Every structure is written in structure tokens, then in C-alpha cells.
Structure 1
Amino acid sequence: MTIAERISVARDAARAGADVAADNFRTKLIIEKKDAKTDVVTQVDRDAQTAVIESIRATFPDDAIVGEEGDALKMVPENGAAWVIDPIDGTNNYVRGTRTWATVVAVVCDGVTTAGVITLPELNDDYWTDGESTYRNGSRVSVSETADPEAGVVSPTMWWDFDSRDEFGNACQAVVDRFGDLRRIGSAQAALASVADGSLDGVITNLRTNPWDTLAGVAMVRAAGGTVTDIHGDTFRHDSVGLVASNGVIHSEALSAAQSIGNPDATTK
């Protein structure tokens, strides 16, 4: 099938998962913890992921699916077609009733992201990319033109747990030392979509990220004219350490900020 057809399936799947999550938003939830006090999950995450998978499987029953919850694959295959999904990116926001959370679907072929969808139902924003351009609610968007770092707004993303709280402090300090302002979005994919549409100038982390937290948004930033690298300044891919996404103009400063955080071999968060 064509990229356009796969994007159509991805958008339908993201909407199916987002509908499940939205129907349960700001209701009484049973919150479970994974590996850390801030790493939470609910049954809604699982139900939304099931809805996404069922929607994809209706058209592509044999494609690999990589996802955060349950027994979905956790690594992106280097060969063949795959779908990388996150039913609720920003679960901490979700369980607190904060509206910035997303349902995400990325389309991958031979390890390369070719398209992606990020749906933020409570904000009424629907982003997608075909790898050539990025769109928000049907209109093409592009990264900011901010050239002066001191006028820039950058987000330290992912989460530094209590055993690496010094790195969290370093990340915030690195941003405020170099840029005009700092944002903590609480959803990595929403932050990346914000770089793609120009409402943020950059996103940084020194951590090894999960593919469901990054791939769709990374593709959007690139297609919107931005730059995305790992912590060493090399092209970002699904198994990279660190993530630096920017409008391209301030990328050297954003990379410097990420490199000053700490351990470049940090484990996945």
C-alpha cells in the first residue's frame, strides 16, 4: 500500500485509541506503578492500545507492532513493516487530569520511520506527517525561525528518576543558561510536535528513549524543516542514546545543552 494509505490507517488507529482514552479522561482510575513512583499505567492505557492494534490489524494483520504496553514488541525490527504505538503518551498528565497527552502511531519500514500520527484529543490537535511535510489539523506547519538562543524556548524531556535527580537539575540548568525559557510538557511526543509546529524551539534529553515516545515526533520535526540528532550529534534513530530536536538554527546550542546533562550512556527511561 502507498504511504497515503498507511497514513490513513494510522490516523484511524490513533483516533480509535484516543477515543477510548478520552471517554475515560477525568474519571475515577485505578493507577498502577511500574518501575518508579512516577512511572504509572492504568487499564485505560491497555484498552486504548488494544483499540489501536485492532484497528491496524484490520488492514495489516501480519505487520509487526511495537508498543509500550502488554506483549507488543519492545524493539523496532530492522527489516519489514512495523507500527510503533503509544496509547497514552503522557500518562502522568492523563491521570492528573492535565489535557496534554497523546495517542501515537508511527509507520516504520526497514527500521526507518516513514510516517507518523500524534493525536491530542483534549487539545483538539491532530498532527501527522508523510515524511515530506507535517500537518496540524490539515494545515502544513514548520519549525520556528528563532535564531537567537536567548529568545528560544526549549523543553528537557523524558524523566530523570530520583536516582538521577542531579541530571534533571543539570538539564534544567543547561536550558536556562543558554535559552530564554524552559517548558516541561509531560509528553515527549507532544513536545516534539510542538517543535514541528514552531511553538517550541527545541527538545533535549541525554537518555536512551523508547521508540514509542519519539519516532512519530522525530519524523514530524524533520519533515517540518528541523534537525534531530542523538547526544553525539549523529542522526537520531530508534536505538540512539539521547535526543536533540530543534528548528535547526539553534541546534548547536541545544546539542551543547544535552551534552552537559551527564552520562551519555544512560539507560532507557
Structure 2
Amino acid sequence: MSLLSLTAQVCNVFGAAGDGGLRMVQKVKDDQARDVVSALDQRLHATAASYVADSMPGCSLLSEEGAASSHGLAALAQGEWLVVDPLDGSNNYVLSLPGYGFMAAHLVDGVVAGSVIVLPEDDLYIVFEHGELLLSQRFSPPLAAPSAPIYYAYPPRLSEGGRRARTELLDLVDRRSAGLYRYGSACVGAYNLLRGRHSAFIGHGIRVWDAIAYVPLLHWFGLPARYHLGTSDLTLIAGFDEEFVDEACAVISANEAITFTAISRDAKLVIST
């Protein structure tokens, strides 16, 4: 099994996606107009599902376009999983806007052992596997630009405590940065953090496949990062300024009574049940 092989298959799907028919909306999930599923979502999901079936015996697939685990995210603590977001930024793709990509994380007994990021607009793929990083285009994260904004991803429905935290986080972002960016793809937002185009990334109550593939990359590049993984969602905060990361975590902890764990190499994910 090689995640590079999966990456090649995904790149081929993107490369053949010139047909405008792949932008057609197949369905809208949970009555949320921004949560659309395109034909390309379904094709990429099928590619990942076939790869797991053919090349990863004993591995389970958790995909945005697949069936949810009956045990919630707690199931990720045991066994082998491939967690996939086939097309993060689907609505951007449907509207012919920039900002979309493919993500997959390979988990073994709760450890993120590998990951794949494919960003076709940048002609870029990132593969982390066997403790090594492979980039189609080499880069190292610079310091964040002085004018760098902060990317903030959050779901349309937050708890009362989550809404309070969001209000305080918006104030914190305005005080500590050039402002907030939000363009419909956590995949691209986290990548832009790695490139120093954002000073921080806040994924607040997002779905696990929206950012889990970046966990080993944040550690590899030495960016301070904290996470909380519950039974149904993920909160991930990372940035160049560790003080800001801790402040943002404190805001959410105070309002939602959750605790954060620092990302560390080869550590088993802490899943709060």
C-alpha cells in the first residue's frame, strides 16, 4: 500500500475533470445550501473507495460522501481507517470559484500515520507517509506576512456556547491580525497557513475530514497546534504565534467546556466521548 498511488489516481481524476458536467449539483445535504455534492465529489469518493477495497485490506473508509460510522468518531481509536474529504470546497467548484482540494488521512489505532493533500489549482500534492514528506513543489513555511489574515472555518449550526465563542473569536481575530478570511475550503485555508499567507487557522467544530489530514503536516513544519476531537466534530487551531493559538483555545474552552491537546509526533489522537 502506498498513499502515493492513491495520490496519482486522484490527480488523474482532477486532470480529466474538464467536463463541465462534473460541476452539476447532485444533492444538497442537511438543507444547507453551501453543503453541495457535485459529480466530481462522487467520482473522487469512488476512487478512494476502490483504492481502499483493492489496496488496503482490513482498512475501513470514512468519507464525507459515504456512510457514517455507527460508533461516531470514537471508532477511529481502533483499527485502520482512511478518512477522506473527496472534494473540500465543493460549492466553490460548482460555482467555478477558486478554492478546492482532496484530503485523506490514514489512521492506524488512532495515530495519523499518513496523509494526502491534492490541490489541483496549484498543481500541488503533498504526501506524508512512513515519517517522510513528499511535495510535488518544494516549500518551507516562512514567517507569516505582517498583513496576513486568519482563516476561520465554522459550521452553520453551533451550540449556544459555540456561538458565544465565535463572537469572542471574531473580536480576537480583529485585534490580533489583519482580519478574517473565509472562502469555503478548510483544505486551502490550512495550506495557505503553511505558506505564511495566513497567520493562523481556526477550524471550529468542523467535520473530522475537513482538517485531520493536516495534523502530521503541522507537526512536520513546527507550527504550534492544538485540537479537540469529540464524538462528532473536530476543533483545530494552529498558527505561527503560539500565544494567539493558546488564546483562541482558551476562548473556546471557556464557552464550551472542552479541553485541547497539543499535536505531537506519532501520538494517538485523544477522542473525548
Change in 2 beyond 3 A, CA 1:167/1:188: same
Task: Say if 2:47 is the partner of 1:51.
Answer: yes
Instruction: Out of 84-93 and 166-175, give the one that drifted further.
Output: 166-175
Q: 1:9 to 1:191 in 2, by over 3 A?
A: same
Residue of structure 2 in register with 1:256 after alignment? 247
Change (3 A) 1:241 1:260: same
1:208-252 per-residue CA deviation (whole Å, 9 max, x = no partner) reads x3221111122211111112212xxxxx557575211123xx122
CA contact 2:126–2:133 (8 Å) conserved in 1: yes
1:68 aligns with one of 64, 72, 77: 64
Gap runs ≥5 in structure 1: 231-235
Q: What is the identity, as a one-letter code, of the residue corresponding to 1:129?
A: F
Structure 1 residue 193: Cα displacement: 2.1
> What is the aligned partner in structure 1 of residue 24 from structure 2?
29
Shift of 1:124: 1.5
* Equivalent of residue 210 in structure 1, options 194, 207, 211: 207
Decide whether the 8 Å contact of 2:153 with 2:204 is kept in 1: no
Aligned to 2:270: none
* Separation in 1, partners of 2:239, 2:175: 17
What is the rounded CA distance, in whole Å, between the counterparts of 1:119 and 1:225 in structure 2?
21
Give the partner amino acid of 2:243: S
Deviations 1:166-218 (A, max 9, x none): 765544332121113432232112222222333322101332x3221111122
Q: Distance in 1 between matches of 2:5 and 2:230?
A: 22
- Residue pairs, 1:67-216, within 5 angstroms: 67-71=63-67, 73=69, 75=73, 76-130=75-129, 132=131, 134-139=133-138, 141-146=139-144, 151-161=147-157, 170-207=168-205, 209-216=206-213
Q: Is the 8 A contact 1:143 1:201 kept in 2?
A: no
Greater than 4 Å deviation, 4+ residue runs: 24-28, 131-135, 161-170, 236-241
- Give the residue type in structure 2 aligned to 1:193: Y
Scaled by the length of structure 1, what TM-score is found? Answer: 0.77
CA apart distance, 1:52:
1.8
Give, in whole Å, the separation in 1 of the partners of 2:177 and 2:93.
29
Structure 1 residue 6, shift from structure 2 partner: 2.8
Asked if 2 retains the 8 angstrom alpha-carbon contact of 1:192 and 1:221, the reply is no
- Relative distance call for 1:264 and 1:103 in structure 2 (3 A) is same
Cα RMSD (Å): 3.2
| TM-score (normalizing by structure 2) | 0.76
Matched, 1:243 2:236: yes
Residue pair 1:66, 1:85 contacting (<8 A) in 2 also: yes
Contact in 2 for aligned 1:221/1:228 (Cα 8 Å): yes
Contact 2:237–2:248 (CA under 8 A) maintained in structure 1: no
Q: 2:266 — aligned with what?
A: none
Report the equivalent of 1:11.
7
Aligned length: 250
| TM superposition shift of 1:67 | 0.7
Distance, in Å, in 2 between the alignment partners of 1:50 and 1:244 is: 31
CA distance in 2, matches of 1:27, 1:18: 10
The answer to whether 1:226 aligns with 2:223 is yes
Distance 1:229 1:176, change over 3 A: same
